[in-house]
Every structure is written in C-alpha cells, then in structure tokens.
Structure 1
C-alpha cells in the first residue's frame, strides 16, 4: 500500500475509501495503481465500513497486478462503479 485516504460522514462512517497499491515482480518491475469505493455505488449504501475499505484495496491490487502482467481489462464491477466518479471527493480534488 503506497497511499490510503478515507472520507467519513459526520457520524464517523466511511463514505469513500481510496487506495494506491504497488505490485512488484521478482525482476524489479513494478506498477502502481489506485482505486476508490464509495457508498454512492449501487448496493454499497448499507455495507460495513470494512467492506468499503476492502473493496477499494482489492480493486487497486487487482488493477496493479493486471497492469503488471499485461491483462489490464476493467472488471464488470468497476464499470458499474464508474457511474459515481463525479461524486467522488478524491477525484474532484485531482481534477481541480
């Protein structure tokens, strides 16, 4: 894990989780990839804080590994998650 950021609601629940992960091959080649998970995604509004965090971490890890081995296709879950991109605090900061 290279970086992690969490955005919480006023009551302390995790609203969004962002992870950046580095995957490295034994020969030294490495790739960093990041991912986000948000409660605004379909089906994520009532899940635990742990689920929001672990989903973001898993997405980042899977992307890094896929890029490293040359299989960088996006999963179906991530395609549906793209709908919340404009609501993300983290992505708004990056685009400003």
Structure 2
C-alpha cells in the first residue's frame, strides 16, 4: 500500500531531483567529515547529527527508488540486447 501511495504521489522529475540532491548532500557531508578527520580536529556534534539524519533519511530515499524500479520479470530488454534481437529504431518511436 505504501508503494502505491509513493508511486501515485511523487512525479518522476521530483524523484530525479530528490535522488540528485541526496547524492550531492552525501558527498558534501562526507567531505566535511573527512576534512575534520584528516585534520585530527575531532568531529563536531552538528556533523555527527547530520550524518545520522542523512543515514536515516536514506531509508525513505531507498524505498522511493525501490518503488519505481521494475522487477526483473517485467523487463526482457537485457535478454533482447544480449541475443541481438532488439530493434533500437522501434524503441525510439515509443
């Protein structure tokens, strides 16, 4: 039921922005943490909290991504590509 709600609520353009924003935020927070660690300054409390919240929110991002990922039995494109039977010109028109 939760997956149906997510699927019907979040448009593709928003999901793309969410995934990109989450990835960029992770790189920034991670880089800050590495900077503090390499300078041996000790990790500030705000950074510890930010890393914890980031990890927690990752669950929601993962559920959203999983909701929109097709199941293997729903797609046969990889098998078509591997055996050479895919017609790329046909797929461009769809």
Q: Normalising by the residue count of structure 2, what TM-score does the alignment of the two structures yield?
A: 0.37
Specify which structure has the bigger relative contact order, considering alpha-carbon pairs within 8 angstroms and separated by 6 or more residues.
2
Q: Normalising by the residue count of structure 1, what TM-score does the alignment of the two structures yield?
A: 0.36
Greater per-residue helix proportion: 2
Greater per-residue strand proportion: 1
